[in-house]
């Protein structure tokens, strides 16, 4: 699916400011191995936004969020949706908190916790992961957090055939091919739901 985003000048500025914060804090906190500006634009920002058409819930979790990817760019794009960024590493949650403050984002909540110990106030409509774990672990660890009619969105490179086979019969999935401008690599989104 091609990347089609309608963004305001303010959103574009916030995305660029976010990448600037990520680069600056990366020197101390080691948030990402990709820190060249052009590569960050493609690998972090555009890759995160490549799933925008599939983000339809109102209450969304980004697990293993790290430096806030993909949750922070998506929160800037969708100010009407609430995003919870979840990471077990304290310094990453600190960075997220600082970025949220500096970017004046009202719809993002950083949370420092292990996924298996996190108890949300209410179930999420969608749970996203970008570089978290295998599909089976992702679903197993987050299943208590997902609404009955909710969906998991797992960002992957190549189609993870073995991981899909390991999901079992309780789940249905659809694999979507993603197009990330400037990225010469396969990208896919695995959308998973519980079978009725």
The reply to whether 138 falls in a domain is yes
Supply the pLDDT for residue 163. Answer: 96
- Provide the domain count of the chain: 1
The pLDDT tens digits of the residues spanning 60-77 come to 999 999 999 999 999 999
CATH (domain of 148) = 3.40.50.150
Q: Is the pTM of this model over 0.75?
A: yes
Burial class of 76 by CB neighbour count within 10 A (0 to 12, 13 to 18, 19+): buried
Residue with the bigger pLDDT between 58 and 66: it is 58
Q: Is it the case that residue 17 has pLDDT exceeding 90?
A: yes
What pLDDT, on the 0 to 100 scale, is given for residue 40? Answer: 77
Q: Is residue 1 part of a domain?
A: no
Q: What is the pLDDT of residue 37?
A: 66
Closest CA to 63 of 157, 123, 152: 152
CB distance 192 to 171 below 8 Å: yes
Q: Is the pLDDT of residue 38 over 90?
A: no
pLDDT of amino acid 113: 97
How many Cα atoms are found within 13 Å in the side-chain-facing hemisphere of 51?
32
4 falls within a domain: no
Condensed to tens digits (0 to 9), the pLDDT of residues 5-15 reads 899 999 999 99
Ordered DSSP codes for the chain? --------HHHHHHHHHHHHHHHHHHHHH---S--SHHHHIIIIIIHHHTTGGG---SEEEEET-TTTTTHHHHHHH-TTSEEEEEES-HHHHHHHHHHHHHHT-SSEEEEES-GGG---SS-EEEEEESSS--HHHHHHHHGGGEEEEEEEEEEESS--HHHHHTT-TTEEEEEEE---TT--S--EEEEEEE--
At residue 24, the pLDDT reads 86
Question: How confident is the model at residue 129, as a pLDDT?
Answer: 97
159-194 tens-digit pLDDT: 999 999 999 899 999 999 999 998 889 999 999 999
Asked if residue 16 belongs to a domain, the reply is yes
CA dihedral 24, 25, 26, 27 (to 10 degrees): 70
Q: Is residue 3 part of a domain?
A: no
Per-residue confidence (pLDDT) for residue 42, from 0 to 100: 85
The rounded percent of the chain whose pLDDT value lies above 90 is 80
What is the extent of the structural domain holding 79?
Answer: 9-194
Q: Mean pLDDT in the chain?
A: 93
Q: What is the pLDDT at residue 1?
A: 59
Take residue 57 and report the two structure tokens written for it: 């819930």
Q: Is residue 2 part of a domain?
A: no
């Amino acid at each position: 699916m091609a990347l089609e985003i309608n963004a305001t000048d303010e959103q574009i500025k916030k995305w660029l400011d976010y990448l600037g914060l990520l680069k600056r804090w990366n020197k101390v906190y080691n948030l990402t191995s990709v820190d060249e500006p052009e590569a960050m634009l493609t690998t972090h920002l555009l890759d995160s936004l490549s799933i925008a058409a599939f983000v339809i819930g109102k209450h969304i979790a980004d697990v293993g969020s790290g430096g806030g990817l993909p949750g922070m760019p998506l929160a800037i794009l969708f100010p009407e949706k609430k995003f919870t960024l979840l990471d077990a590493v304290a310094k990453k949650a600190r960075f997220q908190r600082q970025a949220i403050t500096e970017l004046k984002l009202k719809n993002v909540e950083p949370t420092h916790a292990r996924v298996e110990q996190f108890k949300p106030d209410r179930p999420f409509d969608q749970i996203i992961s970008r570089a978290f774990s295998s599909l089976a672990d992702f679903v197993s660890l987050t299943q208590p957090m997902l609404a009955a009619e909710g969906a998991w969105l797992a960002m992957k490179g190549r189609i993870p055939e073995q991981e899909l086979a390991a999901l079992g019969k309780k789940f249905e999935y659809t694999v979507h091919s993603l197009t990330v401008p400037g990225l010469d690599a396969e990208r896919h989104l695995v959308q998973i739901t519980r079978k009725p």
